[in-house]
């Protein structure tokens, strides 16, 4: 089964580094990449002011984007009251281009969002070897790769942490009763009574749920 990896990429040579750091109160959400030229893909993204942004933040970002050497041919596609949609192309002079790497590895971009000094990325990989290869390429290119979460690829209706409905219910009840408190305000017997199951069944659900969450996070 494929894997969804959530990770952070940081480094001064990443695309849009100048524009994003010049106006950090602007949140950038990449919609998709289109590559007629794999080394110079087109990037479509929304620029949205954060809660602390002033009234001129979008105009400031527009100016910063014009001065960002990592991209060229910037086009404003939509100018709404609260956000702007841009299309840019990675510059021929920009060396750190990860698009052809992840495409060659069989990976697919799920989400790409601005983060301090870099990007927060969600990407689907065919297997762990492909993820390891991508991480190695990042390191060799001076890009710091920080894995945040890894879980098996699932359908959109499934739980990304791999929890069953019964396990999620058991965790919810345990939390609400204070089972995870220090000191504990409830016992497994209390959780079991609330769920209407045996203490053994409640224990198994809670332990398996915690194991699934730990595996997803670690």
Label the pairing between strands 108-115 and 118-125. antiparallel
Instruction: Indicate the range of 85-89, 163-167, 179-183, 212-216 predicted with least confidence.
Output: 212-216
Domain presence at residue 159 = no
pTM, rounded to two decimals: 0.68
The 10s digit of each residue's pLDDT in 51-91 is 888 889 999 999 999 999 999 999 999 999 889 999 999 99
pLDDT band at 2 (very low <50, low <70, confident <90, very high): confident
| 185 and 107 in a common domain | no
- What was the pLDDT predicted at 38? 82
104 pLDDT exceeds 50? yes
The 10s digit of each residue's pLDDT in 5-16 is 999 999 999 999
3 state SS of 80 = coil
| 54 and 23 in a common domain | yes
Domain presence at residue 109 = yes
Give alpha helix (H) positions in the chain: 17-22, 57-66, 99-104, 128-140, 165-177, 188-195, 199-217
| 102 and 28 in a common domain | yes
122 pLDDT exceeds 70? yes
| 178 and 100 in a common domain | no
- Could you list the residue range(s) of the whole structural domain that residue 22 is in? 3-152
More confident residue, 130 or 199: 130
Answer for the pair 114, 20: CB distance below 8 angstroms, yes or no: yes
- By the 10 Å C-beta count (0-12 exposed, 13-18 middle, 19+ buried), 154 is classed as middle
| 169 and 133 in a common domain | no
3 state SS of 206 = helix
The 10s digit of each residue's pLDDT in 41-60 is 999 999 999 888 888 999 99
CA-based R_g, the chain, Å: 22
**Domain limit, last residue, from 97, 118, 152:** 152
pLDDT band at 210 (very low <50, low <70, confident <90, very high): confident
Domain presence at residue 158 = no
158 pLDDT exceeds 70? no
């Amino acid at each position: 089964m494929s894997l969804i990896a959530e990770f952070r990429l940081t480094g001064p040579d990443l695309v849009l580094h100048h524009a994003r750091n010049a106006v950090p109160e602007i949140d950038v959400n990449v919609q998709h990449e289109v590559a007629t030229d794999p080394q110079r893909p087109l990037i479509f993204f929304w620029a949205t002011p954060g809660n602390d942004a002033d009234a001129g933040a979008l105009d400031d970002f527009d100016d910063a984007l014009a001065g960002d050497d990592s991209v060229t041919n910037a086009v404003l596609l939509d100018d709404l009251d609260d956000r702007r949609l841009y299309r840019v192309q990675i510059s021929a002079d920009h060396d750190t281009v990860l698009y052809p790497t992840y495409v060659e590895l069989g990976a697919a971009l799920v989400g790409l969002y601005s983060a301090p000094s870099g990007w927060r990325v969600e990407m689907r990989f065919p297997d762990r070897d492909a993820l390891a290869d991508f991480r190695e390429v990042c390191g060799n290119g001076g890009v710091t790769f920080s894995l945040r979460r890894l879980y098996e690829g699932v359908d959109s209706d499934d739980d990304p942490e791999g929890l069953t409905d019964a396990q999620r219910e058991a965790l919810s009840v345990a939390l609400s009763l204070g089972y995870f408190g220090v000191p504990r305000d409830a016992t497994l017997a209390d959780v079991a009574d609330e769920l209407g199951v045996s203490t053994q069944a409640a224990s198994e659900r809670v332990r398996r749920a915690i194991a699934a969450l730990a595996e997803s996070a670690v």
